[in-house]
Amino acid sequence: MRRRFSSRPYFFIFAFAVGFCFAAGPQMAELSSGANAASPRPPVAKRGHIDVSGWDFSRGAVQLDGEWELYFGQLLEPSDFAGLESREGSSSRQTAGPRLTGYVTVPGSWQAIAGEGPVPPRHGVATYRLIVHGVPLAAHALSSPPSQPSPQSLWLLEMPYARTAYRLWINGELMAANGTVSADPRAMRPEYRPTLVPVAPAMMLGRDGFESAMSQGLHQAPTAGSLEIIIQVSNAHFRAGGLPRSIIFGPADVVARNQKARLLSQMFLIGALGLMAIIYGALYAGQPSERSMLYFALLSAAIAVRSFFMGDLPVQIILPGFPWEIQLRIEYFTGYFGTAVFMLLLQSLYPRDVLRWVPWLYLAVGAVGCFLVTIFPVRITSLLVPYHTILAFLAVPYTVYVLVRAAFRRRPASQYTLVGGLTFLTTVVLSMLHYNQLWIELDLVPHGLFALVLSQALTLSQRYSAAFRRASELAVENGQLLDEARQQLAEHNRLYRLLSEQDEKTRRQIAEALHGSAQTRLLQAVQTLEQAALLVENDPREAAKLIRRAGHLVEEVRENDIREASHRLHPAAIAAGLVAAIDVLCRQLLSELDVDFKVDPRLADLDDPGGAGIQESIRLGLYRIVEEAVSNIRRHALARHVAISLGLKPAITGEHGDWSIELKVTDDGVGFDPSAVRDGLGLELIAARTADLDGQWDITSAPGQGTTVTVTVPLRLQGPFPRLTPA
């Protein structure tokens, strides 16, 4: 068997490639420009020293990551390190001055210290120190002393923030600070505020080096300098102290441009997510049944708010001095809230692929987490964040499983979510490699997150479009059904008026008969009796004759006029059953037509008045239909033979108790074209009585081929419905 070609796998590959290029394209382009296979890897700090002489700053800034000196429990200043010899050539530091605790990896917590010594506690104070060697100097940088750096010769040190307060010295000068650093927890004040620290090339030489270079002449000026970076860090409010983010050093225009680009990218993400939250919130307001739109709006809002208080901290740029405690509370709250809402969104999109208990688990964890974040201080709630991070990470493989399952089962718009999820996971993996210095410089998580949210937006958009199209189709169908209902109602009203007119005509005929021949005969009988009363004494024989004549007149009224009127109102044979009534009618026709009457035995049993009994309205209605059909045959068909049959047939559902009575009246007359005379009075009366019984009717005829009228009405009994089996 040949298999049909499907473009779906190729669509997945193409969409994933587009999503990855969207996430990684800008960074890859920046890295590829000016880089080649022989380019050196970024320098890494070793044992408190980093050499940047081999780094080409035209490629970009350098991250001062690696091993920094850590002096835990000590708040040291540059003067504390003055005059000390290098650690490799002397042991004087071991006995006096700063006491080196060990080497700690930056970025990271000070608890990640290398060596076999004790691990520092979460809270306390520490001093970080790093010597940067081989910083290139511009020749024109020596034209001004360190105290008056030229703006054109500036470098920049990008200091994100510390946990949770810091003071920064560069070559002995205090250059930046966040919060209040203190060994007393009560005096310590936390703050997160990214800072760009200007560094003049002359500062890399120090004042003595600058004066020495000036005395030797510019042509003998050194080409490289060094930086001593000392950072005091104190923490009494967070689960771990230290320097959590990379410190970046490079040319002023490069560092400033990169920070601005990151900030603009982050603000774009915040704006896009905020706009999505507003749009889909408005869509949900207009369509409350689509809960996926509500969850997506809440998720977009949570990510937008969280992004505003994380990363490059736009909150500190737009709202300087925003309280640190509130900032962290909002960050944690949106983390718990967003994870729970994401699982609810996943369930609403693919309810048949997500286990019910999974969203409830994350919802319970999110509710408890939001409550704890609201009540308790960050010092306590920050301890719970790693556990929630593990739980959120466990949701990643489960989400991939759900998306792949939904895609293979061809759930609506599942391919968009799958591509967005794979793109996001790819950016997470690349960023993890970047943070572990195992690959190129890539930090793509915000872009991957935006790709994921965008895929959700596309998914919801397609679902909403499908729902809108379906609603439009339903509106058209409802309009058509409404028109049909109006037509049926108009037809019903017309047939009702026809039956009313027919009943009125019958009453008028009865009244005319009673006031005509019946009244005449009764008056004659009265007059005859009066004559008999006058002759009763003189001529008893004649009086008796008159009395007998009056009796005959009364009998004629009873036999002819009253019986005919009674039959018109309600055939007496109906009381004996439908079969008996039609049988009487057939016997009356034998003088004019050859009549063949057949009855299904099952219907005959049901028609027995002593049994279940067919409802009287059904009996009377079918009898009138037969009567009208026979009347039409007598007036128009010129037929010699008529066949009447009564049978039972199951309804379309085939369920027990859902049966119908089928009546057929066939003649061998001249026939006619039904399309030409279907609106005749006799046929309209048949249609009206059939509609009154909630039934259907049809007529088959052709010139010279006779006529067949078929009527099907629901079977309704007066008593319990017996079990019937197909014939």
**Residue 607 carries which side chain, given as an amino acid letter?**
D
Distance CA(664)–CA(455), nearest Å, equals 63
Q: What residues contact residue 460 under an 8 Å CB cut-off, 6+ apart?
A: 280, 292, 293, 296, 349, 413
Q: How confident is the model at residue 727 (pLDDT cuts 50, 70, 90)?
A: low
- For 653-658, the CB contacts below 8 A with 24+ separation are 656/723, 656/724, 657/721
Query: Is there a contact between 218 and 139 (Cβ–Cβ < 8 Å)?
Result: yes
Cα 401 → chain centroid:
19
Q: Which of 292-301, 303-312, 377-386, 488-497 has the lowest mean pLDDT?
A: 488-497
Most confident of 218-227, 346-355, 561-570: 346-355
Q: At residue 278, what are phi and psi to the nearest 5 degrees?
A: -65, -45
Assign 671 to helix, strand or coil.
Answer: coil
Confidence of residue 509 (pLDDT cuts 50, 70, 90): low
Residue 567 pLDDT > 60, yes or no? no
pLDDT (mean) for 505-525: 62
Supply the mean pLDDT for the chain.
Answer: 77
Task: Of 296, 282, 280, 297, give the one whose Cα is nearest residue 347.
Answer: 296
Question: Can the peptide bond before residue 520 be classed as cis, meaning omega within 30 degrees of 0?
Answer: no
Residues 6+ apart with CB under 8 A from 316: 192, 193, 194, 322
Query: Residues for the chain: how many in total?
Result: 727
Instruction: Look at residue 603 and tell me whether its pLDDT is greater than 80.
Output: yes
Confidence (pLDDT) at 316: 86
Question: At 117, is the pLDDT very low, low, confident or very high (cuts 50, 70, 90)?
Answer: confident
Res 558: pLDDT: 63
Residue 137: pLDDT band (50, 70, 90) is confident
Alpha helices in 124-251 (DSSP H): 206-216
DSSP labels for 67-91?
EEEEEET----GGGGTTPPPTTT--
State CA 315 to chain mean position distance: 32
Environment class of 362 (CB within 10 Å of its CB; exposed 0-12, middle 13-18, buried 19+): buried
pLDDT tens-digit map of 688-700:
888 888 888 888 9
Split at pLDDT 50, 70, 90, the class of 184 is very high
Per-residue confidence (pLDDT) for residue 652, from 0 to 100? 53
Residues whose CB falls within 8 Å of the CB of residue 340, separated by 6 or more in sequence, listed in order: 359, 362, 363, 365, 366, 367
**pLDDT exceeds cutoff 90 at 69:** yes
Range of lowest pLDDT (221-235, 263-277, 385-399, 424-438):
424-438
- State yes or no: pLDDT of 582 exceeds 70: yes
At 223 the pLDDT is 66
Which range, 564-578, 608-622, 651-665, 671-685, has the best average confidence (pLDDT)? 608-622
Give the pLDDT confidence score for residue 34 in this predicted structure: 36
Residue 12 scores a pLDDT above 50: no
Residue 264 phi/psi, 5-degree rounding, is -65, -40
Q: State the pLDDT at residue 84.
A: 62
The DSSP secondary structure of 469-518, one letter per residue, reads HHHHHHHHHHHHHHHHHHHHHHHHHHHHHHHHHHHHHHHHHHHHHIIIII
Predicted pLDDT of residue 494? 64
Is the pLDDT reported for residue 649 higher than 50?
yes
CA distances from 167 to 195, 224, 230 (A): 12, 26, 8
- pLDDT grade, residue 17 (50/70/90)? very low
pLDDT reported for residue 219: 44
CA dist 664 and 598 (Å) reads 10
Q: Can you give the pLDDT at residue 73?
A: 93
Whole-angstrom distance, CA of residue 489 vs CA of residue 497: 12
CB neighbours of 179 closer than 8 A, spacing ≥ 6?
164, 165, 166, 188, 189, 190, 191, 324
Assess whether pLDDT exceeds 90 at residue 673: no
Asked if residue 577 lies in contact with residue 607, where contact means CB atoms within 8 angstroms, the answer is: yes
Q: According to the model, what pLDDT value does residue 462 have?
A: 72
Residue 144 pLDDT level (bands cut at 50, 70, 90):
very low
Q: Kindly report which listed range (139-143, 467-471, 663-667) carries the lowest average pLDDT score.
A: 139-143
Q: Residue 472: its pLDDT value, please? A: 83
**What's the pLDDT band for 442 if we cut at 50, 70, 90?**
low
Residue 143 has a pLDDT of: 40
Nearest Cα to 681, choosing from 466, 486, 505?
A: 505
Domains observed in the chain: 8-37+274-471 (1.20.1070), 49-246 (2.60.120.260), 572-714 (3.30.565.10)
Confidence of residue 30 (pLDDT cuts 50, 70, 90): very low
Most confident of 232-241, 543-552, 589-598, 646-655: 232-241
- For residue 418, what pLDDT band results from cuts at 50, 70 and 90? confident
Exposed (0-12), middle (13-18) or buried (19+): which is 180, by Cβ within 10 Å? middle
> Is the pLDDT assigned to residue 247 strictly greater than 90?
yes
CA–CA separation, 504 vs 471, rounded Å?
Answer: 47
Angle between helices 445-513 and 8-32 in degrees, nearest 10: 150
Q: CA 90 to CA 341: how far, in whole Å?
A: 59
The pLDDT of residue 688 is: 80
pLDDT at 329 over 90: yes
Whether the per-residue pLDDT at 615 is higher than 90: the answer is no
Q: Average the pLDDT over 243-259 and give the result.
A: 91
Cβ count near 531 (within 10 Å): 16
- What mean pLDDT comes out for the span 471-475? 82
Tokens, residue 102:
């060990």
Q: pLDDT value at position 136?
A: 84
Over residues 558-587, mean pLDDT: 68
Q: What pLDDT does residue 687 have?
A: 83
| Cα 417 to Cα 299: distance, rounded to the nearest angstrom | 15
pLDDT of residue 436: 45
Confidence of residue 559 (pLDDT cuts 50, 70, 90): low
In order of 7, 469, 527, 552, 648, the CA distances from 559 in angstroms are 87, 70, 20, 10, 37
Give residue-wise pLDDT tens across range 285-321: 888 888 888 998 898 899 889 889 988 888 888 888 8
Confidence of residue 478 (pLDDT cuts 50, 70, 90): confident
696-701 vs 707-714, strand pairing mode: antiparallel
Mean pLDDT of 532-548: 76
How far apart, in whole angstroms, are the C-alpha atoms of residue 712 and residue 254?
A: 88
Residue 280 pLDDT greater than 80, yes or no: yes
Q: What is the 3-state secondary structure (H, E, C) of 408-460?
A: HCCCCCHHHHHHHHHHHHHHHHHHHHHHCCCCCCCCCHHHHHHHHHHHHHHHH
CA distance to 136, 145, 493, per residue, from 131 (Å): 14, 22, 100
Q: Residue 449: pLDDT band by 50, 70, 90 thresholds?
A: low
Work out the pLDDT band at 658, boundaries 50, 70, 90.
Answer: confident
User: CA 683 from chain center: how many Å?
Assistant: 54
